[in-house]
Chains A and B, each alone.
Chain A
Amino acid sequence: MSLLELDGVKVHFPVKKGIFFDRTVGHVYAVDGVSLKVEAGQTYGLVGESGCGKTTLGRAVLRLVDITEGGVLFDGTDLAKLPEEEMRQIRHRLQMVFQDPLGSLNPRQNIESILSEGMAAHGIGADQEERRERIKKILAEVGLPTNALSRYPHEFSGGQRQRIGIARALVLEPDVIICDEPVSALDVSIQAQVINLLEELQESKGLTYLVIAHDLAVVRHISDVIGVMYLGSLVEEAPSDALYAEPRHPYTKALMSAVPVPDPDVEDRRERILLHGDLPSPAAPPAGCRFHTRCPWKQETRCATERPELTVVGDGHRVACHFAAEIEAGTVERTRSTGIAAVTETEPETV
């Protein structure tokens, strides 16, 4: 059994209007039916562009936002239906590392206070002395000096702050850590340090990660399995190497072709699949396949009317596209050319 299992999770935010009656005039379909499994000791990478719902999904797992529909099975317990108090008690097993390390640390608390607060709340450690010992051990593991205990967040560099964020998650002895854009606020040389740290910790503690990021190269580097999200739903899921070797969904293909690689030879050889226009609003997602308004392989039938389900196409490889097999076989032609001229002519209306 998987350690963490999401089953048709939906998170819809109501759009309200009016002063007195608070009428609900519509919904933002932030997450719209996502099912996935995270195996113990592995890393699941969730990738997608801004507005695709990846962060909301991560927060939904921890019940930091209300789940509209669906289940979140963690170690056999359905978190979505758990009463508030029981959820609070289980939360120390599911921790989160945030994107902005400065914004997620209280500037008026010193590091010891930040790290021991959660431990006290969850009853870890008998007294402050015991907690301090444990914190010292964790600080050493994340590569921070012991004298950090009495210092404040502003005294640290960006990379060190992210280490504090990781330490805060670790002191509660979690099974799962949800990392929301753990390195995107950091410079590249620091990014690599934090990525390596996350990998070392996973190895030594047997942690399970759900990594949420927009950077496909980072996600590919640390994940065992990758899920690609577009406008609230998964469009493709595959083991890391398989996804890179054979992206099957048109969106994944476009995303991969757009990621710059620091190698002039690769850059000169590659053919970019340019997408038309921008992401449609999640408050009014297109009917049928959510991607059909930008898809270079869009067909006359089905794409605009029928929403594709995730179907298994290979070993652990799932794709949500009506024509994935045909595109692979080359029997379906690209219906739009790429390049600036094409983008200009057919760019759909976006607001």
Chain B
Amino acid sequence: MALLSVDELSVTFAGQGGGRGAGSGARRDTKAVDGVSFEVEEGQVVGLVGESGCGKSVTALALMGLLPRKGVSVGGRAEFDGADLLSMGEKKIRDLRGSQLAMIFQDPLSSLNPVVPIGIQVTEILTRHRGLKGEPARKEAASLLDRVGIPDPDRRLKEYPHQLSGGMRQRALIAMAVACAPRLLIADEPTTALDVTIQAQILELLKELVDQQGTALLMITHDLGVVAGLCDQVNVLYAGRAVETAGRRELFAHPTHPYAHGLLGSIPRLDAPRGDPLRPIRGSINDKIAWADGCAFAPRCDFYTMECLTGTPELTEPRARGHQVRCVNPVLPAETSAGTAEVSS
């Protein structure tokens, strides 16, 4: 059985003046996640990819139980090792968080307490979950910093977050996340705030942790390049729903949903010859179309037909087993070239 299996997860933020659930205010509610399903196996790296507003970060927060209780309704199921994370009590999920489940965030500076030395922030976790105190806890913290590649860890433990560089702060956060050897690590845009050479260091570090400890990693990112190098399985999200799910080789070789197809066509590639035109997706994300009324991507889609607006498209496997696509007009081999011509004209 999968370590984490998420089934039709949905997150709705109540609009101002509107109450929870159905009723007078329901119209103004915002559906940030609208039925996301995926699985993460032990030791696997799974990617959640999409642009801003696709619901990837909210998915992570919902899994970690970090969404505010008021004004947010969470639906669906998310089973971690057989227990449902969404219906779990606050106390139980606090025991899981930090020990079996851990998360690192995009902005390492705002995830660290600015007025508490790094050492105390790291040992706090060791005390809470592993019962280590005093000298043994300090020693363990130093060895953790050392493991994530922070030089001179004894001195760094006494320093405050502002004294560390951006890459170093992210390393410190990773050290805290892996302090209790979690079974699942959720990384939400862990390298977006960093320069590319530092990004390469951090990605290498994450890869090593996964390889050595067999930690499962849920990688949330907008960068398809990062996904190509790291993830085993990829879920492409659009407007709160997964539109395509496939193994990484399959996805990059045969992007089948028009959105994934368009996304890959619009990225300038370092290895592409100069003069290769980009094929952008037209328009911009429109949150007015709900999935219930049809495909949310339809207004921007080049393959759009009237059929697209009759209810939510189902997940199908038009190309290969395990390669799921939510589209009634998927981009299939014969159409790929025709589609390209259509876009560029």
Contact = CB atoms under 8 A, between A and B. Distances in A.
B282 interface: yes
Contact of B270 (A256, A274, A350): A256
Contacts of B228: 260-264, 266-267
Interface in B220-264: 222-229, 248-249, 252, 262-264
A192 B278 contact: yes
A193 B204 contact: no
B320 interface: no
A340 B281 contact: no
Interface stretch (A56-64, A314-322, A328-336, A341-349): A341-349
Contacts of A266: 228, 271
B322 interface: no
Nearest to B266: A192
B280 A193 contact: yes
B200 A272 contact: yes
A60 B134 CA distance: 53
B284 A159 contact: yes
Contact of A344 (B149, B252, B276): B149
A27 interface: no
A188 interface: yes
Interface in B152-205: 152, 163, 165-168, 195-201, 203-205
A50 B199 CA distance: 13
Scoring B150, B195, B224 by chain A CB atoms within 10 A of each residue's CB, the highest score goes to B195
A266 B224 CA distance: 13
Scoring B166, B197, B198, B228 by chain A CB atoms within 10 A of each residue's CB, the highest score goes to B197
Contact of A257 (B52, B200, B205, B223): B200
B116 interface: no
B252 A274 contact: no
Interface in A174-205: 187-193, 195-196
B39 interface: no
A241 B274 contact: yes
Contacts of B280: 189-193, 196
B266 A347 contact: no
A187 B281 CA distance: 11
Interface residues of A, number: 53
A190 B286 CA distance: 13
Interface residues of B, number: 56
B139 interface: no
Given A189-B51, A267-B229, A340-B205, A262 B200 contact: no
A59 to B, nearest CB: 20
Contacts of A275: 197, 200-201
Contacts of B197: 49, 254-255, 258, 274-275
B267 interface: yes
A259 interface: yes
Scoring A193, A262, A265, A349 by chain B CB atoms within 10 A of each residue's CB, the highest score goes to A262
Contacts of B152: 349
A49 B195 CA distance: 6
B302 interface: no
Nearest to B279: A192
A98 interface: no
A87 interface: no
A5 B312 CA distance: 57
A96 to B, nearest CB: 22
A264 B249 contact: yes
B225 A188 contact: no
Contacts of B271: 244, 261, 263, 266
Nearest to A220: B270
A340 B229 contact: no
B288 to A, nearest CB: 13
Contacts of B248: 264
Interface in A260-287: 260-268, 272, 274-275, 278-279
A214 interface: yes
A187 B52 contact: yes
Given A49-B195, A196-B278, A262 B168 contact: no
B236 to A, nearest CB: 12
Given A259-B225, A260-B225, A264-B252, A193 B282 contact: yes
Contacts of A351: 163, 165
The 3 A-B residue pairs whose C-beta atoms are closest, nearest first, are: A260-B225, A192-B280, A192-B266
15 contacts: A157-B284, A187-B51, A187-B285, A192-B265, A192-B280, A217-B268, A258-B200, A261-B270, A263-B271, A267-B225, A274-B201, A278-B165, A278-B167, A339-B204, A343-B201
Given A260-B229, A340-B208, 17 more contacts: A49-B195, A187-B51, A187-B285, A195-B278, A218-B268, A221-B276, A240-B274, A258-B197, A259-B270, A262-B227, A262-B264, A262-B267, A267-B229, A272-B200, A274-B204, A275-B201, A351-B163
Interface of A: 49-50, 157-160, 187-193, 195-196, 214, 216-218, 220-222, 240-241, 244, 254-268, 272, 274-275, 278-279, 339-340, 343-344, 347, 349-351
